[in-house]
Amino acid sequence: MTEIEPRSHDVLIIGAGGAGLRAAIAAAEAGASVGLVCKSLLGKAHTVMAEGGIAAALAHVAERDSWQVHFRDTMVGGKLLNDPRMAEIHAREAPERVRELERWGAVFDRTRDGRILQRPFGGHTHPRLAHVGDRTGLEMIRTLQDRAVAAAIAVYMECTITHLGMTDDRVSGAIGYWRTDGRPAVFPAKTVVLATGGVGRMYEVTSNSWEYSADGHALAYLAGAELIDMEFVQFHPTGMVWPPGVRGLLVTEAVRGEGGILRNSDGERFMWKYLPDARRHEYAETDEEATRWVEALTEGRQTDARQPPELSTRDNVARAIYTEVKEGRGSPHGGVFLDISYLPSDRVRRKLPSMYEQFLELADVDITKVPMEVGPTQHYMMGGVRVDAETGATTRPGLYAAGEVAGGMHGANRLGGNSLSDLLVFGRRAGTAAADAARAERVMPQLSPVQVDDALAELEAPLTRQHGEDPYRIHEELRATMQSLVGIYRTETELDEALASIADLRRRWDEVRVDGPRIFNPGWDLVFELRNMLLVSEAVTRSARMRTESRGAHSRLDHTLTEQAWEHLNVVVSPDGPGMRVETTATVAMTDDQRLLASKG
């Protein structure tokens, strides 16, 4: 034990993506000593992969845009399950957060009059996404990273947190290991902010990286905090389907935002068929009107033409593609066609440079000449740790959460571009609140030796077992289970089957064994990631089972209607001894003003 050197901070931030970095900057500005831990190298977090843009009602392209319209779009997109306070704070503060990024050195694409350019995206009434070609996430993370480095924030790279420390019922730090040498890492802290991102590795086909193993969701749950909206897993409609090695890799929605057309194997532009009646009036009526819209966009002028049907919300487009393929109208590799090749090739290359490269280099497809093949891919977790809208405080004292790991902001379905803005808005708020709360704590907590020893023994166990199962096999089976039984369409029978399978895998996990040293051992990493994924898979499945209706990203084949009664209920998951408690709770009610805004249009 003696060789462990504890690293104490007022505020410990777990995760160095957009949310974690923004929180760290805010906490440091508020005067706290800040530690920032991440599993990968600094600058490699998932945020770096974001392509399309940051949603903010700057009204640079469409003068009619405003925070009120952004609020409405977000609530409508989330099927009214969002915490309306979060949706309002987000819509109001996003523009200032984007401008601030520019002041910190970000270089966004420009409008003709020299301001930040905004592009259209599904579910957003107006062109709203500030972007840099299709590498917006890189711009964002590098800007924040430079800012954090200049603020001399202590960054602990390639360090995995596996346990939260508790002092009485307060979260008081974290425990884990250094991936580069396998030694234990102990971080006492007055407050802790979770900013660990999502859960994609529970699924076979996903746009997410190895880091997305639901760590923050599980850490919060194990510390006794509540999770909310866990049934809502976003499947992005367009992932690559071929070659097999890149299956699931994201094809940014910006392709459709720039005019990409979806067709089935009959050449039919099928999205016309799938527009929900209530929203049909928001979309073009004919191919001709959609074309006019694209032309206006290309030339950067205002237009009264309405947007193409491909820009319907993600849940809807994903179901449409799934159905087309299932009914036999798919492309050769089991997707549908997405065509942007009818636009001038230099424009495609300028606006979608990394998509152009990605297809050329990984699939031998020149998207300026032929259509892409695309299909749904797990992409984002709407559900997450239940937080207070203003501060990001979880239901556990001392613990905060922001970014994809937090729940509530996006309701039943997230609009594209609303994540990057969410990271900035709520990352900043959580960082400030955690710093303020830390100031009120006079003494630096100590993590009890018993606690640390227990955690370390758990870490050691799979390395010392003589016999046991390979974690890769368990992971493979979990992914297959979640993909086939808890995917886009769900039924009670299949969800029950999934629960049985997860319980079985969980039993096998107890006996898991890994070979090799502690230094940078991916098998060993996988053991604790599996613990987290098994737990969170169960939370997703149980929540999905409880919601007996279809809404947003949650589609039940045995309950196909969207039920009025469920409009005011969130599903909440929390630990109950060794078991998992799943219950409904009333949604946060909208104020009269909010209700008026949400029902407009």
Partner 1 sequence: MAETILWVLRGSERESARWIEYRVTTEEGMVVLDALHWIQAYLAPDLAVRWNCKAAKCGSCSAEVNGRPRLLCKTRLSDFPEGEAISVEPMRAFPLIRDLVTDVSWNYRVNARMAPFDPPKDAPEEAWRWQQEDIERVQEFRRCIECFLCQDVCHVLRNHETENEFAGPRYLVRAAGLEMHPMDQGDRLSYLRSDAGIGYCNITKCCTEVCPEHIKITDNAIIPLKERVADRYYDPIRIAWRKLRGESEPGEPSAPQT
Ligand X SMILES: Cc1cc2nc3c(=O)[nH]c(=O)nc-3n(C[C@H](O)[C@H](O)[C@H](O)COP(=O)(O)OP(=O)(O)OC[C@H]3O[C@@H](n4cnc5c(N)ncnc54)[C@H](O)[C@@H]3O)c2cc1C
Q: Site residues for ligand X, window 414-473 (CB under 6 A)?
A: 416-420, 423
Q: Which two tokens stand for residue 477?
A: 């089976």
Q: Does 234 bind ligand X (CB under 6 A)?
A: no
Could you tell which of ligand X, partner 1, none binds residue 166, using a CB distance below 5 to 8 A set by kind? Answer: none
Contact pattern from residue 520 through residue 549 relative to partner 1, giving x for each residue in contact according to CB under 8 A and a dash for the rest: xxxxx-------------------------
Contact pattern from residue 93 through residue 122 relative to partner 1, giving x for each residue in contact according to CB under 8 A and a dash for the rest: ---------xxxx-x-xx--xxx-------
Q: Shortest Cβ distance from residue 198 to partner 1 (Å)?
A: 13
Catalytic residue among 256, 319, 386, 479, which?
256
Q: How many CA atoms lie within 13 A of 165 on its CB side?
A: 29
| 101 vs 430 by CB, closer to partner 1 | 101
Q: Does 335 bind ligand X (CB under 6 A)?
A: no
Q: Does 395 bind ligand X (CB under 6 A)?
A: no
Using CB under 6 A, pick the residue from 11, 17, 387, 445 that binds ligand X: 17
Closest CA relative to residue 23, chosen from 196, 273, 244: 196
Is the separation of the CB atoms in 372 and 338 below 8 Å? yes
Q: Site residues for ligand X, window 239-268 (CB under 6 A)?
A: 250
Q: Does 225 bind ligand X (CB under 6 A)?
A: no
Q: What is the C-alpha separation between 27 and 434, in angstroms, rounded?
A: 7
Could you tell which of partner 1, ligand X, none binds residue 183, using a CB distance below 5 to 8 A set by kind? Answer: none
Q: How many CA atoms lie within 13 A of 200 on its CB side?
A: 22
Could you tell which of partner 1, ligand X, none binds residue 53, using a CB distance below 5 to 8 A set by kind? Answer: ligand X
**Which residues lie below 8 Å from residue 79, measured CB to CB, with a gap of 6+?**
411, 412, 413, 551, 552, 562, 567
**Which residues lie below 8 Å from residue 193, measured CB to CB, with a gap of 6+?**
11, 12, 13, 14, 20, 23, 27, 392, 400, 401, 402, 430, 431, 434
Q: Site residues for partner 1, window 331-360 (CB under 8 A)?
A: 354, 357-358
Could you tell which of ligand X, partner 1, none binds residue 484, using a CB distance below 5 to 8 A set by kind? Answer: none
Is the separation of the CB atoms in 33 and 11 below 8 Å? yes
SS3 label, residue 388: coil
Q: Shortest Cβ distance from residue 12 to ligand X (Å)?
A: 10
Q: Shortest Cβ distance from residue 468 to ligand X (Å)?
A: 22
Q: Does 160 bind ligand X (CB under 6 A)?
A: yes
Could you tell which of ligand X, partner 1, none binds residue 215, using a CB distance below 5 to 8 A set by kind? Answer: ligand X
Q: Which two tokens stand for residue 307?
A: 């947007």
Q: Is the peptide bond before 243 cis (omega within 30 degrees of 0)?
A: yes
Could you tell which of partner 1, ligand X, none binds residue 226, using a CB distance below 5 to 8 A set by kind? Answer: none
Question: Is 396 a residue of the active site?
Answer: no
SS3 label, residue 264: coil
SS3 label, residue 367: coil
Q: Does 290 bind partner 1 (CB under 8 A)?
A: no
Using CB under 8 A, pick the residue from 242, 293, 380, 509 that binds partner 1: 242
| 82 vs 252 by CB, closer to partner 1 | 252
Catalytic residue among 97, 236, 319, 518, which?
236
Q: What is the DSSP letter of 205?
A: S
Helix (H) or strand (E) holding 253: none
Using CB under 8 A, pick the residue from 154, 275, 362, 580 that binds partner 1: 362
Angle between helices 522-546 and 492-509 (to 10 degrees): 150
Is the separation of the CB atoms in 469 and 513 below 8 Å? yes
Closest CA relative to residue 191, chosen from 166, 221, 163, 171: 171
Helix (H) or strand (E) holding 80: none
Q: Site residues for partner 1, window 219-238 (CB under 8 A)?
A: none
Q: Quickly tell me which residue has 């790279």 as its tokens.
A: 157
Q: Does 479 bind partner 1 (CB under 8 A)?
A: no
Q: What is the C-alpha separation between 175 and 160, in angstroms, rounded?
A: 8
Distance of CA 166 to the CA centre of its chain: 27
Question: Is 236 a residue of the active site?
Answer: yes
Is the separation of the CB atoms in 396 and 223 below 8 Å? yes
The residues annotated with a catalytic role in the active site are 236, 256
Residues binding partner 1 (CB under 8 A): 40-46, 48-49, 102-105, 107, 109-110, 113-115, 132-133, 135, 137-139, 142, 146-147, 149-150, 152, 157, 180, 209-211, 242-246, 249-250, 354, 357-358, 361-363, 470-472, 476, 514-517, 519-524
Residues binding ligand X (CB under 6 A): 14-20, 37-40, 45-47, 49-53, 136-137, 160-161, 195-197, 207-208, 211, 215, 250, 379-380, 403-405, 416-420, 423
